[in-house]
Structure 1
């Protein structure tokens, strides 16, 4: 297992067409669902979108861990394009624009932070990357989507961020379970 001091270049597996399509489909589905669900408030401080969106970081981190940051960026860009195109049909343009801007900025940050921390403890990279990306995502999304409108959007932003962070921590369990088999294999070099 590489240590934080081991800086030899990593070699990553090449995804098959099915794995690549699955990652893109999962990413697009998560973003689309979140764009729709963010329009439905649970109360004055939370929308349903907060529960689905952190799964995008799980998808990104799994692709990054297995196939590397280049493939994770490719999945993010294609998932972004598909999700925004469909979101423009199903959600208001302002939501689609805010979501797309926040998504790509936060995903690229998540991928970069994850890649920088990947050689440490298994949970460190996905946790730190998700936290910093979720903060950026919330600032960009809520600043574009609802700023200047009526309603409790600032409390929704804070509530959604809190839930995104909590769900992001919870996503460590599926991350660990899904990378578990990879962890038992010899390190790829």
Structure 2
């Protein structure tokens, strides 16, 4: 890790901290404000991978993971209306989803890096985002994993409703996951623009 990697480290840490704060604030019925900041972590990882390589990208991911763990530990000590802001299931889901999805992003990007400029960031982000969403919401809210934290009542997330109010009936947490996933996919496309601009400026100096 060199001083050149510091902007990536700071960007990742800032995104993780901001997302942990903004996830406490609702945006409409199915989302939180954190849904719009968290996907930027994939942009940071992909820029680091393109400019500096897979090794530095993984190290930035691990920094983000450690910052996320710290945020979770702090969140468990802050009491909200219904208990701690961060429960054990949310902490496990968040950490495991982040680390798995980001490392998968690095691996897929590296495998596709010699193709057209947009293939690696788009494919790695789409797949990583899908895995991230599936892992987090399943671990944090699925009734089948209640044994992870029996004292934590997440029955509200199991209320059966039409998906996003329109689709077939499913537990509420599925609607939350689908909405989150759709935002991630949309931002994966939008992020191609700053990815192209940033890497074009940094690559000559890398």
Q: What's the TM-score, normalizing by structure 1?
A: 0.82
2:118–2:192 CA contact under 8 A, matched in 1: yes
1:30–1:52 CA contact under 8 A, matched in 2: yes
Q: Does residue 143 of the first structure (1) align with residue 163 of the second (2)?
A: no
2:110–2:120 CA contact under 8 A, matched in 1: yes
- The aligned residue for residue 176 of structure 1 is 196
What is the CA-CA distance between 1:55 and the residue it aligns to? 0.4
**Unmatched segments (≥5 aa) in structure 2:** 76-84, 144-153, 158-171
2:9–2:63 CA contact under 8 A, matched in 1: yes
Ranges of 4+ aligned residues in structure 1 off by more than 6 Å: none
Match of 1:167 among 187, 191, 202: 187
Q: Does residue 70 of the first structure (1) align with residue 55 of the second (2)?
A: yes
Match of 2:65 among 80, 96, 118: 80
Match of 2:31 among 20, 24, 46: 46
What is the CA-CA distance between 1:45 and the residue it aligns to? 2.4
Match of 2:90 among 65, 89, 95: 95
1:87–1:96 CA contact under 8 A, matched in 2: yes
Q: What's the TM-score, normalizing by structure 2?
A: 0.76
- The aligned residue for residue 123 of structure 2 is 128
The secondary structure found in structure 1 opposite 2:139 is helix
What is the CA-CA distance between 1:99 and the residue it aligns to? 1.1
Of structures 1 and 2, the one with the larger relative CO (CA 8 A, separation 6+) is 1
CA deviations over 1:121-151 (Å, ceiling 9, x no partner): 1111000000000000000111122223214
**Unmatched segments (≥5 aa) in structure 1:** 1-14
